[in-house]
Amino acid sequence: MKRTDFQFELPEELIAQFPPEKRGDSRLLSLNSSNGTVDDKHFSDLPDMLDEGDLLVFNDTRVMKARLHGVKETGGQVEILVERLLDDSYALAHVRASKSPKPGTRLLIDDGIIEVRGREGDLFELTCTHPGFASLMENKGHVPLPPYIERDDEVEDLERYQTVYGEKVGAVAAPTAGLHFTHELLERLDAKGIHSARVTLHVGAGTFQPVRVDNLSDHVMHSEWLEVAELTCEQVRACKEEGRRVVAVGTTSVRALESAATSGQLKPYVGDTELFITPGYQFNVIDALVTNFHLSESTLLMLVSALGGVDNIRHAYQHAIDQRYRFFSYGDAMLISP
């Protein structure tokens, strides 16, 4: 397929610049992937749209305060986006500056000192021993809002750009389908007998990179770190044996589960994935998906099209535009199910 098969025109005013006033106060577009019909719902309706025994799989990553602003020793401005924190003194990061910093360059974040050690592909190898990355990001870091949110991060984003169940710090972007869930909604789901499981996938900045090649087979997918534990595998197996549905919360949960099942069987997995899911992909684990609306020509739009069907997703997106749904990270949601 071609990149342009996943192109759509979105009015700029439909890109959500702020979260809804109240967490969970979002719309939910239900897509029946078997016949392409859509239905306008509210996210609070989700428990009524799932069946007892269904298994919701959540990504429990937490977003780091990964954006740092500083200067080179020569005085030039620099912006650092920590992509992967390998330990408290060593990280891989994107660095934006007027000139690409060379090994040995020192970057000053107030009284913090970061040294450029080298390159690993598009990422810079950085060290920080004073005071260490964790302390520096906690005290001087900013919430790394996506590029289509055209404002600086605010105090509200510290809480709203995190899921209520996130535990494992390491992402530079939120698993945004999870932003709609509240503690009250999780309790309602549990009361109905809808089960939950966890995976961890630390979302990287590559999730926002556009596909630049015409043929999808030529695209080099970005890498992200994930973990799928044995307990989650057992929960999925039990769900399948009972004839129930595995419902992924977000494309990151899809990517984690399907990466751990490339052999055809879900197994515990820890490591990186470069899995690129496009139409024609045969899903080994998931049956349904809760997701947000994604960018035109993006790998995430290709993934949801693989599950929902290209024509069905195109129709659903046009319906969402016509009905003035809010798009992207702080926007509304979809439920794609057979």
pLDDT at 210: 82
Report residue 181 as tokens.
Answer: 């869930």
Question: How do residues 302-333 score in pLDDT, each as one tens digit?
Answer: 999 999 999 999 999 999 999 999 999 999 99
Question: How do residues 76-104 score in pLDDT, each as one tens digit?
Answer: 999 999 999 999 999 999 999 999 999 99
Q: Are strands 55-59 and 246-249 parallel, antiparallel or unpaired?
A: parallel
Closest CA relative to residue 83, chosen from 125, 22, 35 = 125
pLDDT tops 90 at residue 208 = no
What's the first-to-final CA gap in the chain, in angstroms? 23
pLDDT tops 90 at residue 106 = yes
C-alpha angle 67/333/250, rounded to 5°? 60
Question: How do residues 44-69 score in pLDDT, each as one tens digit?
Answer: 999 999 999 999 999 999 999 999 99
Q: Are strands 224-228 and 168-171 parallel, antiparallel or unpaired?
A: unpaired
